[in-house]
């Protein structure tokens, strides 16, 4: 652990005078890898604050979520929806998620727009939460990336049409990441706070 992490960890002190370090699980559901990258950035930030953090895929993870103090789920959008496995995992683990600090963030291209980049204004996250039995204690929304070279023929033209409707980039040579990494860092700070029982 880096010295700066030790200094920050000293802020998390239990009532009995012992240092406490939260053990946080970051689960991702991704289409092209960005949700995983965001989880890894959050992991690095948390470790820099003196916390423990593990990144695992939502489907096929090799750890027991019950062993962690807090759980964060990150999921990306494809064709306007999160992968069905996200809701399946939540429904299967709702009591566990509600028993400890838990968070959810969504990754989607519409979040590149200032009017749709918060949990309160992002239509995809709002639609998902309306169907979700779990009410996360912390929510986040991050803009995704547009890389036409990754899409198959059908998806490429579908995405181009969506971008045309929304006045986004339509050139097939476009490769741009809209993610606000400073906001990812701020979200990591909120995760660290709520994992240690502090207000966010």
pLDDT at 7: 41
Question: Helix axis angle, 84-92 relative to 123-131, nearest 10°?
Answer: 40
Q: pTM higher than 0.95 for the full model?
A: no
Return the closest-CA partner of residue 104 out of 131, 136, 76, 77: 136
User: Can you list the domains of the chain with their CATH numbers?
Assistant: 3-144+181-195 (3.40.50.360), 145-178 (no CATH)
pLDDT at 200: 64
Q: In the chain, which residue ranges form alpha helices assigned H by DSSP? A: 3-9, 34-48, 84-92, 94-98, 123-131, 153-165, 181-195
The per-residue pLDDT string of the chain (200 residues; one tens digit each, 9 = 90 and over) reads 343 444 444 444 444 444 578 899 999 999 999 999 999 999 999 999 999 999 999 999 989 999 999 999 999 999 889 999 999 999 999 999 999 999 999 999 999 999 999 999 999 999 999 999 999 999 999 999 999 999 999 999 999 998 998 888 999 999 999 999 999 999 999 999 999 887 66
| Integer Cα distance of 173 and 24 in angstroms | 38
Cβ–Cβ < 8 Å for 72, 26: yes
CA–centroid distance for 163 within its chain: 23
């Amino acid at each position: 652990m880096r010295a700066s992490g030790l200094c920050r960890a000293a802020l998390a002190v239990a009532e009995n005078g012992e240092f406490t370090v939260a053990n946080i699980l970051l689960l991702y559901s991704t289409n092209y890898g960005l949700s995983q990258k965001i989880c890894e950035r959050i992991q690095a930030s948390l470790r820099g604050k003196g916390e423990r953090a593990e990144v695992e895929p939502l489907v096929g993870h090799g750890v027991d979520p019950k062993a962690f103090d807090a759980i964060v789920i990150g999921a990306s959008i494809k064709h306007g929806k999160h992968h069905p496995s996200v809701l399946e995992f939540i429904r299967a683990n709702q009591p566990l998620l509600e028993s400890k600090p838990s968070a959810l963030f969504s990754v989607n291209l519409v979040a590149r727009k200032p009017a749709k980049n918060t949990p309160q204004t992002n239509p995809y996250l709002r639609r998902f939460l309306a169907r979700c039995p779990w009410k996360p204690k912390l929510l986040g929304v991050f803009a995704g990336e547009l890389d036409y070279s990754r899409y198959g023929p059908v998806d490429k033209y579908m995405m181009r049409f969506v971008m045309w409707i929304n006045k986004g980039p339509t050139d097939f040579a476009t490769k741009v990441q809209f993610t606000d990494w400073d906001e990812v860092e701020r979200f990591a700070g909120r995760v660290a706070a709520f994992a240690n029982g502090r207000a966010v």
